[in-house]
């Protein structure tokens, strides 16, 4: 019985340490992601944009800022943003068309890159970003 209790105690300690390490890693990664990124998107549509990521507790929030050639800036709040298993997933609603735009990607030297889909997958393409604030 003592062996069983000792084994259960050791298992609990191992799980607690592993959970703490996972928590720290995701907090560290969130710190890496937070800030201003600038880049391009291509595919069925193309252009320049910024991605501004903020951290509130352990949750990502932010904006996509569209940068058309006319020099104006069009900020759009993210509906959702998450970092899980080394992948950024986020979405926003295109104010001109009312459709959701979903994008996902990962860190890739020297920045981030990934794919986007809009109109239920009828429009798609790729994007790439570089850190703009460090």
Residue-wise pLDDT tens digits, 89-101:
999 999 988 999 9
Neighbours of 8 (CB within 10 A): 10
Taking only the tens place, the pLDDT of each residue in 3-40 is 333 333 333 333 333 333 333 335 667 888 999 999 99
**What local confidence, expressed as pLDDT, does residue 18 receive?**
32
Q: What is the CATH number of domain 34-131?
A: 2.40.128.120
User: pLDDT tens-digit profile of 71-123?
Assistant: 999 999 999 999 999 999 999 999 988 999 999 999 999 999 999 999 999 99
**Domain map of the chain by residue range?**
1-33, 34-131
Phi, psi of 23 (to 5 degrees): -60, -45
**Reported pTM:** 0.77
Backbone angles phi and psi of 109, in degrees to 5: -55, 125
3-state class of 12 per DSSP?
Answer: helix
Q: Are 124 and 118 in contact (CB under 8 A)?
A: yes
């Amino acid at each position: 019985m003592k062996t069983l209790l000792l084994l259960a105690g050791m298992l609990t300690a191992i799980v607690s340490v592993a959970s703490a390490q996972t928590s720290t890693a995701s907090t560290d990664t969130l710190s890496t992601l937070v800030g201003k990124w600038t880049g391009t998107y291509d595919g069925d549509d193309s252009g320049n944009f910024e991605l501004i990521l903020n951290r509130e507790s352990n949750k990502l929030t932010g904006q996509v800022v569209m940068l058309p050639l006319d020099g104006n800036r069009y900020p759009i709040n993210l509906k959702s943003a998450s970092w899980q298993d080394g992948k950024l997933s986020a979405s926003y609603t295109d104010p001109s068309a009312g459709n959701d735009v979903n994008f996902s990607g990962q860190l890739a030297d020297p920045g981030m890159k990934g794919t986007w889909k809009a109109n239920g997958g009828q429009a798609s393409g790729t994007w790439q970003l570089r850190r703009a604030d460090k």
